[in-house]
Amino acid sequence: MPLIHLPPGTIPPPMAAMPHTAVVAAGVAVDPGWRAAVAAWLVDGGCRWMLAWGTDASAWDDAVDWVVLERCGFADIPEDRMVMTTWHDDEPLDEVLDFAHAVGDGERPVVLVDIHPDPRPWIAAAITARDQA
């Protein structure tokens, strides 16, 4: 599972537009405008499921929902543009990662986006443990 460390306020790296599942592991509160920009990056990059975990998880969920609505002109959302969103503020990260893989059903990759000023080695360890299970 790829890990993208994204410190708050930075510009997300280029992402090839392809269907994927994203787990946003938010370790700190962020500026709402930056959160909206990251949500747009995820949606425009082909995200089909976004699971928000950690700080302000429901705000991340809402941000992605708003981008999808904006991209579809606040009209009906075609199935191929739909992004399912969930937020998880009480579950352990390993359970969220398991859920991400389950909803991806092996059809699309899972990407973990770590939102924190510093890399968090335990996040990488959680990915490694999940990938080796």
Q: Around 24, how many Cα atoms within 13 Å sit in the side-chain half-sphere?
A: 35
CA–CA separation, 112 and 90 (whole Å): 18
pLDDT tens, 9-32?
Answer: 999 999 888 999 999 999 999 999
**Residue 106: inside a domain:** yes
133 has a pLDDT exceeding 70 = no
Q: Measured at the alpha carbon of residue 23, what is the angle toward residues 92 and 79, in degrees to the nearest 5?
A: 125
Quote the pTM value: 0.93
Show the domain range for 67. 3-8+19-28+37-132
Percent of the chain residues topping a pLDDT of 90: 73
**Residue 14: inside a domain:** no
* Residue 1 pLDDT: 76
pLDDT tens, 73-114?
Answer: 888 988 888 999 999 988 999 999 999 999 976 778 999 999
**Residue 126: inside a domain:** yes
Q: How many domains does one find in the chain?
A: 1
**Residue 13: inside a domain:** no
* Residue 107 pLDDT: 77
Q: What CATH number does residue 77 fall under?
A: 3.40.50
**Residue 69: inside a domain:** yes
- Residue 117, token pair as written in the block: 């000023």
Per DSSP, 97 falls in state H
